[in-house]
Amino acid sequence: MDTSIYRYVTAIAECGSISAAAKKLFISQPALTKQLGRLESSLGFKLFDRGSIPISLTAEGEIFLEYAYQYLRLEQEMTKKLQQVGRWDGMDVQVATTHRGGTYVGLHTAMFLKEYPQVQVEYLDSSASSCEEALVNEQVELAVYTDPVISDKIEYMPLEEDPLVLVIPRSSSIFQGKNLEDNDLEHLYELEPEELNREDLVFIRSTSNHSLYLAENALFKQYKVRPARTFTVDYVDTRYNIACGGGGVALLPFVTIDKRADHRNVVYATLKGEQLYRYVIIARKKGRAISQGARLFWKFMIGQRFQDTI
């Protein structure tokens, strides 16, 4: 059962704007506007008065919202009761995860197993490209990794925004004469994109099987960055350690960086006026009927996206 549209409407009503709701839901504003428009067209009336600030419900929208909350509550109650009568015993589900995807599911696995003790979950460590290959070949039912999604045979939902940070040797000419005393993960140094083209910078690149490689390519293309020198390292923690040792610049997930360590040889940076990020997603093969255990896992992990924003 897909209750997404009910969650969309309740989020818009609670947030007071489509843009704020889209941010809470981790979807784009145009996508949310399109979904709402389709619903209103099928119903034959408007749910929201878009001319008011904040956005307000129409009379029909008030009624729809009341029943949307009831529907979501009833569905949750039904799921729990079905579980209690033991109809879902002995369910297994295999989930492919990347290093970053595993971090997300790891934080929520205990809660999932507490709510659904009948489900046996097996996590398979993989790269982003291998996650997609396993989904398409039906070797696993689900995968949790980071965008972008390459295969058109896969459908997905965003779970969490994943901020990215540039880790740069403090000895770089970029920082000559600059005050870096307050620099840390909460106070990123803002640099101009062209500064990444300096001759003394070496860019430590991800291998092509990881989604960070695609994030690097997007960064280079969008901001016209042409690194003078590059070399490739597969494992993200190794890239981080090389950068901390002064060996080059690395684009890394915020969660990879050890907040407790004092790395005086590096500067944590972003681009001026920009926020660098990607999304952690949960994915499945389009059109494939998945098991009950996989459906529960899919729905639960997406549900944590809403819980984490409360």
Average pLDDT over residues 107-120: 92
DSSP string, 229-268: EEEE-S-HHHHHHHHHTTS-BEEEEGGGS-TTS--TTEEE
For tokens 């529960």, what's the residue?
A: 296
Query: What pLDDT is stored for residue 306 in this prediction?
Result: 56
User: pLDDT tens for residues 80-111?
Assistant: 776 665 555 557 899 999 989 999 999 999 99
User: pLDDT tens for residues 32-58?
Assistant: 898 899 899 999 999 999 888 889 999
Average pLDDT over residues 176-192: 89
DSSP string, 52-116: SSS-EE-HHHHHHHHHHHHHHHHHHHHHHHHHHTTTTTTEEEEEEE-HHHHHHHHHHHHHHHHH-
Within 8 A by CB and 6+ apart from 279, the residues are 26, 146, 147, 158, 159, 160, 161, 162
Contact at 8 Å (CB) between 202 and 248?
Answer: yes
Average pLDDT, the chain: 88
Query: Which amino acid belongs to residue 296?
Result: L
How do 266-271 and 189-191 pair as beta strands? Answer: parallel
pLDDT category of residue 310 using cuts at 50, 70 and 90: very low
**DSSP-derived secondary structure letter, 184:** B
User: pLDDT tens for residues 201-246?
Assistant: 999 999 998 889 999 999 999 999 999 999 999 988 899 999 988 8
- Say which residue, 76 or 15, is predicted with more confidence: 15
Query: What pLDDT is stored for residue 75 in this prediction?
Result: 84
Query: What pLDDT is stored for residue 309 in this prediction?
Result: 44
Domains, in order of start, for the chain:
4-84 (1.10.10.10), 91-155+280-307 (3.40.190.10), 161-278 (3.40.190.10)
